[in-house]
Amino acid sequence: MSPTQVVVIVIVVLVLAALAAIAVVASRRRDLKQRFGPEYDRVVAEQDSRGAAERELRERERRHAELELTPLSPESRAKYTAAWEELQVRFVDSPAEAVGEADELVSRLIAERGYPTGEFSEQIAHLSVEHARTLTHYRDAHEIRLRNERGEASTEELRQALVHYRALFADLLGEDPVGHQLPEQRHPDHEHDVTSR
């Protein structure tokens, strides 16, 4: 074989190896985007580079694999569904308190499923692997709850917080606890309560 042929073969092999590496990276990226959905874009925006973001997401997958997650028993599922229904009824008269109770109920469900319930950012990281599509709801609910604690949340925002909590709650529960009915606050000019959504 002539030196030119050797060089051409080496170049072809290097090009093929580079194309294979690009295909592997693109496949991994596509898998991460599919798995994490909008959370993928959020982490990319927060990190210095796409590579750093993807390393963070793979690390989340690794930590998630170490968790001992447990499915809910039918009895537990029924208990949580009943608790959610009661919470929604209490929202009518006490929206601020109901939002705090919703946060506590979601935290208990997260713990019972086997997720850590420590710092909020760690909770989000663990939940993102299987529940990434509802994390925006959880973040929004959390933010409204914090504003509520400072006395800054309107009744409509509290209603939205409950809707947001319900999204993650249903995702963790595996079903919507009470359909799409959410009571609104009672108004003196209405004879009975109306439901929305």
How confident is the model over 6-62, as pLDDT tens digits?
888 888 888 888 877 777 777 677 888 888 888 888 899 998 898 899 999 999 999
Model pTM? Answer: 0.74
Is the pLDDT assigned to residue 195 strictly greater than 60?
no
Q: What percent of the chain has pLDDT over 90?
A: 58
Q: Where are the alpha helices (DSSP H) in 94-150?
A: 95-113, 120-131, 135-149
Distance CA 135, CA 107 (A): 14
Q: Which residue has the higher pLDDT, 24 or 70?
A: 70
Mean pLDDT of 168-182: 75
Tally of residues, the chain: 197
Distance CA 144, CA 167 (A): 15
pLDDT in tens, 15-29: 888 877 777 777 677
* Low-confidence winner among 28-42, 156-170, 181-195 (lowest mean pLDDT): 181-195
Provide the b/e sequence for 125-159 (b: ≥16 CB within 10 Å): bbbbbbbbebbbbbebbbebbebbeeeebeeebbb
